[in-house]
Amino acid sequence: MPLTFESLPQSVEVLQQKVDKLTSLVETLVKTEPAPEPDEIRFYGDKELAEYMHCNIQTIYRLKKAGKLPFRKYGRKYYYLRSEIDKAFAGKGGRK
């Protein structure tokens, strides 16, 4: 329907109702989904990951080259998500 000056108050009311519905939906979603633990969403660089895994940085390079480390590359740097690393090495017994 074309927007005219006379239909403006009704259109604003309909828009406000839609915004209210969206707001309540977002609030419901935020309340129902648990926030991830801060450490689970932490990214590590090569050096930080070696410290976290209690190994040498050369081990990190070797595991990355062998395809055993899930990583993300941004530019020339590699980053590792802690939750992905923990999942990849769950039950391996190599880390403390």
**What is the rounded (10 degree) CA torsion for 79, 85, 87, 90?**
170
Nearest C-alpha neighbor of 45 from the set 88, 86, 87, 74: 74
The DSSP bridge partners found for residue 43 are 81
pLDDT in tens, 9-22: 999 999 999 999 99
The CA distance from 43 to 25, in Å, is: 30
Between residues 35 and 46, the one the model is more confident about: 46
pLDDT in tens, 40-96: 678 899 999 999 999 999 999 999 999 999 999 999 999 999 989 988 888 765 544
Could you tell me if 69 and 80 are in contact, meaning their C-beta atoms sit under 8 angstroms apart? yes
pLDDT in tens, 21-32: 999 999 888 787
